[in-house]
Amino acid sequence: MNGGGVSAIVLTEDEEVQIGDCLRHLSWANEVLVVDSGSTDATRDIAARSGARVVQREWQGFAAQRNFGAAQAAHDWVLFVDADERITSELAAEIPAVLRSSPKYAGYHIPMRNSMFGRWMRYGGLGRQYHLRLYNRTRGRWIRDVHEVVELDGPAGSLDAAMEHYAYRTIRELLEKVDRYTDAEARALHDRGARPTPGIILRDCLGVFLYKYVWQRGCLDGYPGFLWAGSLSYYHLLKWMKLWELLRS
């Protein structure tokens, strides 16, 4: 495998609305790889027309799917981008420059700008996020089935330029994503032997809302800030409800 370039990897399933624009912002990469888990819309066709190499694989969980994508890449340095994220021109210039300079880190955290319902979020924990998305696959692997992260064999650095995340454009998008993620989270809780109680549910739902909306000042982001805090509260309620249902089945 060639370790001199970077492979940009996108996981997809029914992302025909987003994938074209996402891939246009990856035209600078040495390789663009789309790992599709059974799209029934035009996602794969759009990706192929955009010049991406498309690989199909049945969904096995977030970490497993990302590790599979890294193993399929033509380059050791891999960059993971979601379909609703965009690489800015500044970041597209910074990544190759860093990798050309014999990088001393095993991976790099990338700052994230989050747009929600048409507003760039500044508070509620969304104003200054960093995600480890660029790493040398020989020195890192994804772990955890839900809210997956990269486990590195070595130190991580940080880049300056940002990635843009267009999180939710509609309430329907938000609810669909919450529903998908809480399915996986409830299964993970079940596997760990967790048990829901009224106290735990109340603590999680009320606690996360107050933390995001008051302590992290999500209230200053207007109605989108309220929706963000409320959606996280609903997320915790739904995961415990789904766990309760699993335990009864």
Looking at 167, 195, 227, which one is the last position of a domain?
Answer: 167
Q: Give the pLDDT of residue 155.
A: 97
The CATH number linked to 23 is 3.90.550.10
* Alpha carbons 112 and 151: distance in angstroms, whole number: 19
Q: Are residues 93 and 209 in the same domain?
A: no
Instruction: Kindly indicate the confidence band of residue 34, based on its pLDDT and cuts at 50, 70 and 90.
Output: very high
Looking at residues 101-125, what average pLDDT do you find? 95
Q: Note the pTM of the prediction, 2 decimals.
A: 0.93
The CA-based angle 69-127-99, given to 5 degrees, is 40
Q: Torsion angle, CA of 190/192/197/198, rounded to 10 degrees? A: -80
Looking at residues 220-240, what average pLDDT do you find? 97
Q: Give the pLDDT of residue 128.
A: 83
Coil, strand or helix: which one is 233?
helix
Looking at residues 10-36, what average pLDDT do you find? 98
Q: Which of 163, 237, 235 lies closest to 201 in space, CA to CA?
A: 237
Task: Show the domain range for 91.
Answer: 2-167
Instruction: Kindly indicate the confidence band of residue 1, based on its pLDDT and cuts at 50, 70 and 90.
Output: very low
Coil, strand or helix: which one is 11?
strand
- Helices vs. strands in the chain: H and E counts, helices first: 7, 12
Helical residues (DSSP H) of the chain, grouped into ranges: 19-24, 43-49, 62-72, 89-100, 171-191, 198-210, 222-248
